[in-house]
Amino acid sequence: MKGAEFDSSSVSVNTAARAGSKLGLELEMAVVDRASGASHPVRGYFERLAERRRKRGEPVAETKLGGRLVDLAGPAGHSGLDNAFNLLETAFDPIVAPDGLDALHRIVVAEIADANTVLAEEGAVLLNAAEHPDCALSDAWYRSVVAPRRVYAEMAGFRGWRHQLGIDAKAQNSPCTAIPIANAARALNVILALAPANIALFANSPLENGRDTGLQENRLTLWDRMFSGTRFACDHRLQQLPNAPFADLGAYFRWMFGPETVTRALPASTGASYKSGAHVYLNDNPPLSAFLRSASWPGVTDDGDAIVLAPESAHFVHAQFGNFIDARWRYRLADFPDLPVLLRAWETPGGLEALFAQHGVDGYIEGRAPGANFADAQLLALAGEDICRTVTIAPSAIQLGLMRNLDEAEALVRQWGWATLAALRADAIRYGMASDRIQALARDTLAVARSGLNGDEAKWLAYAEYVATTRQTGADRLRQLWRAHEARPRDRLALVCGQRHCLAL
């Protein structure tokens, strides 16, 4: 249908549309030295993991950067790195199954078991924390462990982001839930507005660089700190909740690409990798909307070569990663519309929804608020195996339930108020479940999510409901361990991490 005009009447908003036809997950996992608890950059991990999987008869496709193996693609997805060699990230391929949450749990457990087995060969293990409790944030450490991706030169060099502030294994659990295109903006608004509940329920980072931060989820202070004082003010703005919900996807992309924003580096060739391909920096730093409406624009590649780039619809799709709020709409198209058609659709209410539907859109909500949480010996002793086995899938269950129950979720957002919820985000980061208002929001959110799940699916909410009831988060439990070993500062990190190894349950 390339070149076809869009018809906004072809995509009606169906409030009964069901989310979750596909379920995915991007899971980040901090690696520590088993003996000392120190943050551990992996060495030979991917080579050994590839050998293990090939021995099982699984196909493995390898990716190298800078001469180092950094990613393995297989039947379950991509096992790779996030920003550095001390932080693993697995991007699980979308699951299409009637028991989607159960199936997701099975592959997550298999991945954790594989990782623990392979890491044991280099004296390392996965840590249940959303940030390493005592790791340097120095430039020297950053240079020694950062993954060799071109995009980091843009972030830390050209745009001036303080990328090293995330180099202590700040880790999130990012549920990825398919949503019908007509409801994409509605679902995005709900997950963004109710993020304080997810932040508090999955808070797991009270410590940084060996000190108690006084916060429950210090990880989420990263974005404000990373973008403060950087080259372009828009980068700081695009990690904050907007003043009002998005009316449609057009409004979402105008917020991200419109006036007073600056285009992120674009691929030098269509289809290049977002993180690792060659990039082009446009002269005079225009917003993407201005570039797309031009005949062409001069720029320079990250190799220093002058280039004149002609805009394409592919540039619009590529730039979807240009914000760092608590949820993003991610998508791909089966084929690209002509650029003039896309630009006209962008100016029409509901136009992008209609046009993208005509071009085979496959989209999902990527949640970014929950911190990484796993089962460990400490939680097992406190809550038992039934609670422990739901820890890592609970964020996916909440997001699925909310998106399956959009009418009630939107009513909850209206009840609390968009501005009120935006302000509660700071309370969730600082106080977690110790705040009565945050606990009340968490209980309301879980009730709406439970109503959107069938009886069997609701079992995956058990860890979140345990936290809401006991008011004890992963951060509370980690801080308790840290304080318990205060008298043994030299052994403290090893003792704490020894009780927080991830279990494959």
How many Å separate Cα 224 from the centre of its chain?
A: 16
User: Among 173-177, 256-260, 268-272, 343-347, whose mean pLDDT is lowest?
Assistant: 268-272
Confidence bin at 429 (pLDDT 50/70/90)? very high
Mean pLDDT, range 256-262, rounded to an integer: 97
Which band of pLDDT confidence, cut at 50, 70 and 90, is reported for residue 268?
confident
Is pLDDT at 181 greater than 50 in this prediction? yes
Q: Is the pLDDT of residue 354 over 70?
A: yes
What is the DSSP secondary-structure string of 315-370? HHHHGGG---SSEEEEEE-SSPPPHHHHHHHHTSTTHHHHHHHHTT-EEEEEE--S
Cα-Cα-Cα-Cα torsion 503, 399, 91, 170, nearest 10 degrees, comes to: -70
Query: Residue 277: pLDDT above 70?
Result: no
Average pLDDT over every residue of 174-178: 98
Beta bridge partners of 208: 211
Whether residue 274 is predicted with pLDDT greater than 70 in this model: the reply is no
pLDDT at 273 over 70: no
Q: What is the pLDDT of residue 387?
A: 98
* pLDDT surpassing 70 at residue 218: yes
Place of tokens 């006209």: 344
pLDDT given for residue 460 in this prediction: 98
Mean pLDDT for the stretch of residues 342-349: 98
pLDDT digits (tens, 9 = 90+) for 89-141: 999 999 998 899 999 999 999 999 999 999 999 999 999 999 999 999 999 99
**Is residue 272 scored above 90 in pLDDT?**
no
pLDDT at 18: 80
pLDDT at 4: 33
Q: Which domains does the chain have, with CATH numbers?
A: 8-264+322-498 (3.30.590.20)
Closest to 242 measured CA to CA, from 421, 409, 13: 421
Residue 166 has pLDDT above 60, yes or no: yes
- Does residue 9 carry a pLDDT above 60? no
Tell me what the mean pLDDT of segment 322-332 comes to.
97
How far, CA to CA in Å, does 121 sit from each of 47, 81, 118? 12, 18, 6
Q: Read off the pLDDT of residues 289-310 as tens digits, 9 standing for 90 and up.
A: 999 999 999 999 988 999 999 9
Half-sphere exposure of 137 (CA within 13 A, CB side): 19
pLDDT tens, position by position, 430-487: 999 999 999 999 999 999 999 999 989 999 999 999 999 999 999 999 999 999 999 9
**What is the pLDDT at residue 8?**
36
Q: Please tell me the predicted confidence (pLDDT) of residue 276.
A: 55
Q: What torsion, rounded to 10 degrees, do the Cα atoms 406, 252, 369, 462 define?
A: 10
Q: What percent of the chain has pLDDT over 90?
A: 92
How far is residue 121 CA from its own chain's centroid?
Answer: 29
Of the candidates 474, 492, 489, 486, the residue with the CA atom closest to the CA atom of residue 199: 474
Cβ neighbour number for residue 75 with a 10 Å cutoff = 10
State mean pLDDT over 177-195. Answer: 98
